[in-house]
Structure 1
Amino acid sequence: MADVAVLVRAHWTRGEPGREAPAELVTALYRWWVVAMVLKILGATWDICWHFRWLRDDLAPPHLLNSVGTVMVIGLVVFHSYTGIGVDKVTLRWMQWGLGIFLVAAPLDVINHRVNGLDITAWSPSHALLYLGTGMMSIGLLLGWYRQGRSDRYYYPITYFLWFTVLDNFMFLNQHQEYGVLGLAAWERGTPYAEDSLLQFAADQLHRPLDYIAVENFTLPTPDWLYPVWAVLTGLGTLLLARTLVGRRWTATTIAAGYLVFRCVAWALLAAADFPISTVPFFLLIGALAIDMSAQLITRLRPLIGAAAVTAAAYAALWLQDAYIAAPPSDYASALYVVALLAAMWWLFEHLGSGGVRRIEQHLAAIRDRRGRGLSPR
């Protein structure tokens, strides 16, 4: 810590993105990013179960924990922006825009709650902006770490964690249904997780008595097709992109297993503290295994075959989880649409992973060069 502080003070001067700096300083910056993202994820994980028990409070402990991570992110982005260390222009723009959107979305979310009341659903527009900002920061982190962290001995563990942050950011939305399905069951048993004032508030918003319809609208307000479609296209889609770009054989399975271990540990801790509990999307591990196995196929039809295999495996595992453990309501007929969309994503990811990004960057650089010389972009 003392050595890093010395390096920070020595390099606290104005510089352009891509500025040379000691590898120890660059590595330390990205490890502080890991700490900041851990705090934000812990705060968000605690936050959603908090809102299934009590009425919203701007200064609730989960919000404060998340805010500590956000303050760290602000400090890191300011350092990158001022010194130019540890980032290139593209990486820095992703970080800056992501943080900017998040900081705009936070007060908008507070205003939204003041105007619309409870608004617990994770699918609200103001919440979507929070996820978008966090996701853009994670993309910037991945780009920066890919270009700056290759020499670090913990390159792959940190790479996997950064992909974990993208997966968690997408799957966080589905946690509404994962908490909701057990919350509704608890209410039917006569032992609701939520306090009476929260349930009555939800019923009053619908202008109806506190009955099954009111509680269902509070716990499961989304259509049944949304849960499996979102899990496969964004959750497993993230793992597919990670497998394509990282290139290691069991990348998708490793990240999915890490995510599920985190969810299980969080489940145990929250249950021990008498907080509401959720279902855990174990079916993602089966889908991740299908991704890693399908990625080894040597055929031009791999995107189509892989998409069919991954969708079938994930939907079958989700059905088994619903039958023997618990899972949110799901419309399994949606698999037909998911296969086509996932196949298109698979083809696009393989195109990008095989050099498509590099060719796009070279093309844009050539356009900028021609414009600089006063020539037509064509």
Structure 2
Amino acid sequence: MKRRAAPVVQWALPYWTRGKAGRETPEDLFRVLYLGWLVAFCFKVLGASWDVSWHFKWLRDDLAPPHLLNSVGTAIALTLTIIHLYTGYGVDRTAQRLVGWGTAVFLIAVPLDLINHRVNGLDITSWSPSHMMLYIGTLLMVCGVIRGWFMGAPPGRMRTLVLGGLFVFLLENVWFPAQHQEYGVFGIAAWDKGRPEAEPILLQFAADQMGRAIDRPMVVKFSLPVPDQVYPLYAVAAAMIVLVVARAMTGRTFTATAVAASYVAYRTLIWPLLALADFPRSAVPAFLIAGALAIDLAFLIRIPVVRALVGSLAATVVVEETLVLQSKAYLTPPLVPPLTVAIGGVILVVLWLTAEWALTRYRLRAQVMEAVVSATASP
């Protein structure tokens, strides 16, 4: 083991020097750093996927296997953050700050979440303040990695593929709290069939926390603790804006569709694995692909303001209609009146217009970056 580690140490040690963000980074070091981030995010996503299913079956445990798996990813991310902050390699100043603040928020949220559970028990909803801090910390972290890769990776197919992959991780993190409702509807359905997925100890704990008997209203409150309107509003506003930014930053046709399809494919593959291990299943948000396709088609429009208005309208209508269609063929969270979804569309318009301005203002469009690289490379 020592013999194998020695060459790695010899290669890495010369790079361990203090420097400012934005310093020139050797290609081999740049690749290693971002490969490390991909590995870290893979561990975190696998742990998160198992974690939400675990909490619909077992009573919470700080050292549950999903938490440990997620912690491996967090440890790798922390190591990489320290490297970026100390050496300045692989990131510009903005990316360094995003990664640093994201990691800090996440690490602060961990003990707060533990205290929260000690005080409040299960803390049933995934939308609680301590949980939201975990998502926000990861959001900042992934955004920093996306910027670092975008600014530093050489143009080419690999740059585009990794950037698209990072946006899949971003979509997974943004969409994660909505999974509570996707698992919740399956939990209620299992109860109605007389085969509850949650273990008796979890049901009893939840009932005691609510101060009522183990009955259907208790199961509904445990499974769907937030208003039904949250799910479609979040789908239209939060998920769609991630796909808009993904399409703009990669500059490739059908990027949004590819990112959404990749996430849905992952959820579809992890679903039977959890079921085979006797863990709760969930609804899979296949309708996100249709919304992503609407966004990709909207990018055929060259005028940014018109693109945002038409794209937001199209994505809102498509998401609402495909969600209704999916509910007829497959179990989904409860549907809401179209007017509620329209509110999400209004929010998306504001977010999309803001994104159009910010991406141009801070040179985060693929075409702009490619032009800068070409100009730099020219004699």
Q: TM-score, normalised by structure 2?
A: 0.91
Q: Pick from 89, 92, 117: which aligns with 1:88?
A: 92
Partners of 1:343 and 1:233 in 2: CA distance: 9
Q: Tell me if 1:76 matches 2:66.
A: no
Partner of 2:149: 145
Q: Tell me if 1:234 matches 2:238.
A: yes
1:21 to partner: Cα distance? 2.9
5 Å-filtered alignment, 1:264-275, equals 264-275=268-279
1:216-270 Cα shifts (integer Å, max 9, x gaps): 1100111111000001111111001111222211110010011011101110110
Alpha-carbon contact 1:239-1:255 (below 8 Å) kept: yes
Q: TM-score, normalised by structure 1?
A: 0.91
5 Å-filtered alignment, 1:240-279, equals 240-279=244-283
Aligned partner of residue 119 in structure 1, secondary structure:
coil
1:52-91 Cα shifts (integer Å, max 9, x gaps): 0000000000000000111111111111111111112211
* Number of corresponding residues: 358
Structure 1 counterpart of 2:188, which letter?
L
Partner of 2:375: none
Partners of 1:79 and 1:167 in 2: CA distance: 26
Partner of 2:353: 347
Aligned partner of residue 296 in structure 1, secondary structure:
coil
1:165 to partner: Cα distance? 1.2
1:151 to partner: Cα distance? 4.6
Unaligned runs of 5+ in 2: 365-379
Partner of 1:104: 108
Alpha-carbon contact 2:180-2:223 (below 8 Å) kept: yes
1:325 to partner: Cα distance? 0.8
1:304 to partner: Cα distance? 1.7
5 Å-filtered alignment, 1:65-214, equals 65-151=69-155, 154-214=158-218
Structure 1 counterpart of 2:336, which letter?
D
Aligned partner of residue 6 in structure 1, secondary structure:
helix
Alpha-carbon contact 1:55-1:197 (below 8 Å) kept: yes
Partners of 2:8 and 2:163 in 1: CA distance: 22
Partners of 1:357 and 1:347 in 2: CA distance: 14
1:213 to partner: Cα distance? 1.0
Q: Tell me if 1:316 matches 2:321.
A: yes
1:136-176 Cα shifts (integer Å, max 9, x gaps): 00010011001111256521111011111110011101100
Partner of 1:366: none
Alpha-carbon contact 2:237-2:345 (below 8 Å) kept: no
1:301 to partner: Cα distance? 2.5
Q: Indicate the RMSD between aligned Cα atoms, in angstroms.
A: 1.6
Alpha-carbon contact 1:134-1:169 (below 8 Å) kept: yes
Structure 2 counterpart of 1:170, which letter?
V
1:98 to partner: Cα distance? 0.4
Partner of 1:356: 361
Partners of 1:92 and 1:21 in 2: CA distance: 14
Alpha-carbon contact 2:22-2:90 (below 8 Å) kept: yes
Unaligned runs of 5+ in 1: 360-378
Partners of 1:120 and 1:267 in 2: CA distance: 22
Identity of aligned residues (%): 47
Structure 2 counterpart of 1:128, which letter?
M
1:10 to partner: Cα distance? 1.6
Partners of 2:294 and 2:348 in 1: CA distance: 13
Runs of 4+ with deviation above 4 angstroms: 1-5
1:118 to partner: Cα distance? 0.9
1:15-36 Cα shifts (integer Å, max 9, x gaps): 2212223111111101111000
Partner of 1:330: 335
Partner of 1:9: 13
Aligned partner of residue 119 in structure 2, secondary structure:
helix
Partners of 1:214 and 1:243 in 2: CA distance: 42
Alpha-carbon contact 1:55-1:198 (below 8 Å) kept: yes
1:180-225 Cα shifts (integer Å, max 9, x gaps): 0000110111100000111111111111111111111100111111
1:352 to partner: Cα distance? 2.5
Partners of 1:47 and 1:343 in 2: CA distance: 33
Partners of 2:148 and 2:185 in 1: CA distance: 39
Partners of 1:153 and 1:298 in 2: CA distance: 24
Q: Tell me if 1:26 matches 2:24.
A: no
Alpha-carbon contact 1:27-1:152 (below 8 Å) kept: no
Partners of 2:8 and 2:147 in 1: CA distance: 23
Partner of 1:373: none
1:358 to partner: Cα distance? 4.4
Aligned partner of residue 154 in structure 1, secondary structure:
helix
Partners of 1:319 and 1:7 in 2: CA distance: 56
Question: Do the aligned partners of residues 59 and 337 (structure 1) sit closer, same or farther apart at CA in structure 2, a change above 3 Å counting?
Answer: same
Structure 2 counterpart of 1:314, which letter?
V
1:339 to partner: Cα distance? 2.1
Structure 2 counterpart of 1:75, which letter?
T
Alpha-carbon contact 2:51-2:66 (below 8 Å) kept: yes
